[in-house]
Amino acid sequence: MNKILVTGASGNLGKSVIKHLLTKMDAENIAVLVRNTDKIEDLKNEGIDVRIGDYTKYESLVAAFNCIDKLFFISGSDFEGRSMQHKNVVNAAKETRVKHVIYTSFQRKNEEKTSPISFVVEDHIDTETWLKESGMEHTILKHNLYMDMLPLFVGKEVLETGLIYLPAGEGKAAFTLREDMAEVAAHILTTEGHENKEYDITADKAYSYYDIATIISNISGKTIRYTSPSVEEFNKTLTEAGVPAEYIGLFAGFSLAMIEGELDNTNSIIEKLIGRKATSVEEYLKEVYS
Ligand SMILES: NC(=O)c1ccc[n+]([C@@H]2O[C@H](COP(=O)([O-])OP(=O)(O)OC[C@H]3O[C@@H](n4cnc5c(N)ncnc54)[C@H](OP(=O)(O)O)[C@@H]3O)[C@@H](O)[C@H]2O)c1
């Protein structure tokens, strides 16, 4: 049996992937990479092989990847310096003769600096290139935007304010539930035929914030409006409200990406791979707002 190591195992996606892997294989064939064990007490009790490592510390990765056949490489969460961290992971995997790397990348159409989300996709493009050049088997999972980000994007107090305020115009995204992505990942990790393939991991329907406002209104019984200001007005309003610049940049970048159609990409890959439909935005928002 192949030994699989899941990085980012203390995070949301990593934890879900491990939960699904445990339904498919013995714990002794699962290893995890964590920076420290504080957030994974539950995993230690499962009998999983816990290895300590940090994407910024090359030697720690070489030690942690020893005797690993498949690496589920979850992209790092820092925008600063992420590219070099990923280079360390790819090089360490190659040095330790990992056979197959499955990498969580991100969707895009525009790969140039002109993309409003180049601050996210640049590192992914670099990492994909290094994986392809490494000679290792690789599978690239191009994730669409997490559906789980919607409450952050529409605002925690949307039911009180009755307003979704984002410069996304009529743009759409095929928001995809992180839990669905985790189940897909566990399937790919435990089945054959995914070597040197790229998959757009995305839902089968795309939604605008007009659609989201209507759905939340129907669920909550409250009237929720959507207003799309210009980016300049959006930046000014949020800055005056004391929102940190990094959040404003994130909200504006993903909104513009929706206008430019970067995330309006649907398919039925989830159903094809795990035999059930992707969770819909309606189902998810019902859980959150009813
Ligand atoms: N598609 C989308 O919409 C979307 C949205 C958000 C994020 N993402 C990407 O998807 C990844 C997984 O999402 P998530 O929700 O699971 O994120 P998360 O909960 O923030 O988990 C990130 C994981 O990466 C680990 N990590 C970060 N820097 C590391 C380093 N230098 N060395 C080793 N491990 C490191 C974290 O470890 P610690 O617990 O030690 O911090 C954590 O386990 C994110 O890291 C990000 O790249 C995608």
Question: Mind listing the domains of the chain with CATH numbers?
Answer: 4-143 (3.40.50.720), 145-176+202-265+279-290 (3.90.25.10)
pLDDT at 41 over 90: no
Query: In whole numbers, what is the pLDDT of the chain averaged over residues?
Result: 97
pLDDT score of 233:
98
Q: Is the CB of 253 under 6 A from ligand 1?
A: no
> Which ligand 1 atom minimizes the distance to the CA of 55?
32
pLDDT band at 43 (very low <50, low <70, confident <90, very high): confident
Write down the number of H helices and E strands in the chain: 13, 9
Q: How far apart are CA 216 and CA 219, in angstroms?
A: 5
Pocket test for ligand 1, best of 77, 86, 108 (most atoms within 8 A of CB): 77
How many other β-carbons are positioned within 10 Å of the β-carbon of residue 76?
23
Q: Is the CB of 13 under 6 A from ligand 1?
A: yes
Cα distance between the two ends of the chain? 44
pTM value is: 0.97
pLDDT score of 1:
73
Nearest CA to ligand 1 atom 47: 75
What is the average per-residue pLDDT within 24-41?
94
Query: pLDDT, tens digit, for every residue of 222-251?
Result: 999 999 999 999 999 999 999 999 999 999
Residues forming a β-bridge with 143: 106, 201
Q: Is the CB of 143 under 6 A from ligand 1?
A: yes
Residues forming a β-bridge with 199: 141
Q: How far apart are CA 85 and CA 55, in angstroms?
A: 5
Nearest CA to ligand 1 atom 31: 55
